[in-house]
Homo-oligomer: A and B are copies of this chain.
Amino acid sequence: MDFFTITHKDKNSLARTGIIHTEHGTISTPTFMPVGTQATVKSLDTLDLESLGAEIILGNTYHLHLRPGEDLIANYKGLHKFMNWSRPLLTDSGGFQVFSLGKNNGEQGRLVDIDNDGVTFTSHLDGSKHRFTPESAIETQHKIGADIIMAFDECTPDNAEKKYIKEAMDRTHKWAQRCIDAHKKNQSYHGYRQFLFGIIQGAGDKDLRKESAKIISNMKFDGIAIGGESIGYNMRATKKILDWISPIIPEDKPHYTMGVGFSPMDLFEVVERGIDMFDCVAPTRIARNGTLFIKSAGVKNKFRLNITNSQFKNDKKPIDPECGCSTCKSHSRAYIHHLFDAKELLGYRLATIHNLYFFLNLMEEIRNAIKEDSFLKLKKKWDNI
């Protein structure tokens, strides 16, 4: 069976529905993937995620490498069994976090050293030294055992000079081939097939992005990801980049924007440009700060309600009266407000359930609209809320 099957193409945009097949089950695309950084989507159990209908979740290789370590996870026959999640998993390569460390610490407290062979970095947990190479990043991901794994890439800051962006991009392309070679040798480490995606870099430079798109598209990857600091964080830049590369990347492979999903409209923007997969920590992170998604019109910040606001202290309505999640079916704004006010752990869980349901439910709405060729109509409807 093919890894990826396109089931319907929208007549009016690049949006498409599809199915990704893995040995841990299928994923209906386009799909939003909740982030489970440290072998848990923060505050949720895997049963919660199943109830929410999540078909795939992410783990972060950087974090899992540091704690509990890939060898321990391998000892449990992979992350699925370690965290008791039977559905598909994806791991990033660790590159994004490693390079974020370097950026956050600037030139002085530099925690990251890049050379052409790989990257040496210092753990944010205990200051210990670690090294990722393309080969070791793949080996680490083999041991973790996600169904979809990512090539090790260098993610350049948006404000880097073109010369550096080009240098890093060329390095990323060389690493990409080394990742493919390393993966080929052992692509069923735990007995089931893992699929490897390549990552297009090139920051905000049109020529470099197109060059990277061509090179990554011509390599033997199972899927094509679009990486970079601005992807997701800066939707204007994201849309521009997608418009440059979408004519280049192969149609028959899944397309994945890494880091998209701060707001409901962001999902529409990338789906419209032919993207099949995306992940973002925002829905779960902002939930833990009390920022909850809401469809209803008339809220101050479109689609967002801050439950810690005192106006909700005595509000008997559910978070979103139109929402069907277990939090909205069972609890009032007043109760969630109280839980946040009292810093009760339950508040974080109920809020996370709500935000993930909101996104996963919206994805289903989007998939249904694509199938009926009414995707742009649905987008317009949400735009006008």
Number of copies of chain A assembled together: 2
Contact A334 B68 (CB under 8 A): yes
- Judged by a CB distance under 8 angstroms, whether A187 is at the interface is no
Contact A314 B45 (CB under 8 A): no
Contact B46 A330 (CB under 8 A): yes
B-contact 0/1 string along A116-132, CB 8 Å cutoff:
00000000000000000
Q: How far is the CA of A358 from the CA of B268 in the complex (A)?
A: 47
Contact A335 B45 (CB under 8 A): no
Contact B43 A314 (CB under 8 A): no
Q: Inside 8 A of A42's CB, which chain B residues have their CB?
A: 344-346
B-contact 0/1 string along A332-372, CB 8 Å cutoff:
10110011011011101110000000000000000000000
Q: How far is the CA of A342 from the CA of B38 in the complex (A)?
A: 8
Contact B39 A335 (CB under 8 A): yes
- Judged by a CB distance under 8 angstroms, whether A248 is at the interface is no
- Judged by a CB distance under 8 angstroms, whether A5 is at the interface is no
- Judged by a CB distance under 8 angstroms, whether A40 is at the interface is yes
Q: Inside 8 A of A316's CB, which chain B residues have their CB?
A: 76
- Judged by a CB distance under 8 angstroms, whether A67 is at the interface is yes
Partner of A43, one of B39, B83, B332, B345: B345
- Judged by a CB distance under 8 angstroms, whether A218 is at the interface is no
Contact A82 B346 (CB under 8 A): no
Distance from A289 Cβ to chain B, minimum over Cβ atoms (Å): 14
Q: How far is the CA of A72 from the CA of B342 in the complex (A)?
A: 15
Q: Inside 8 A of A349's CB, which chain B residues have their CB?
A: 43, 45, 345, 349
- Judged by a CB distance under 8 angstroms, whether A6 is at the interface is no
Interface centre among A43, A44, A330, A342 (most CB of B within 10 A): A342
Distance from A146 Cβ to chain B, minimum over Cβ atoms (Å): 17
Q: Inside 8 A of A67's CB, which chain B residues have their CB?
A: 338, 341-342
Q: Inside 8 A of A350's CB, which chain B residues have their CB?
A: 45
Instruction: Give the size of the chain A interface in residues (CB under 8 angstroms).
Output: 36
- Judged by a CB distance under 8 angstroms, whether A174 is at the interface is no
B-contact 0/1 string along A59-97, CB 8 Å cutoff:
000000001100010011000001110000000000000
Q: How far is the CA of A345 from the CA of B341 in the complex (A)?
A: 17
- Judged by a CB distance under 8 angstroms, whether A295 is at the interface is no
Contact A84 B40 (CB under 8 A): no
- Judged by a CB distance under 8 angstroms, whether A236 is at the interface is no
- Judged by a CB distance under 8 angstroms, whether A331 is at the interface is yes
Q: How far is the CA of A332 from the CA of B80 in the complex (A)?
A: 13
Distance from A18 Cβ to chain B, minimum over Cβ atoms (Å): 31
- Known contacts: A330-B84, A338-B67. The answer to whether A346 contacts B76 by CB under 8 A is no
- Known: A42-B344, A47-B326; 19 extra A-B contacts, CB below 8 A, are A38-B338, A38-B342, A38-B344, A39-B339, A40-B339, A42-B346, A43-B346, A44-B346, A45-B330, A45-B346, A67-B338, A67-B341, A68-B313, A76-B316, A76-B332, A82-B334, A82-B338, A84-B335, A345-B349
Q: Supply 17 A–B pairs (Cβ within 8 Å), ascending by A.
A: A39-B342, A40-B344, A42-B346, A44-B346, A45-B350, A67-B342, A68-B313, A68-B334, A68-B341, A72-B313, A76-B332, A83-B335, A84-B331, A84-B335, A345-B345, A345-B348, A345-B349
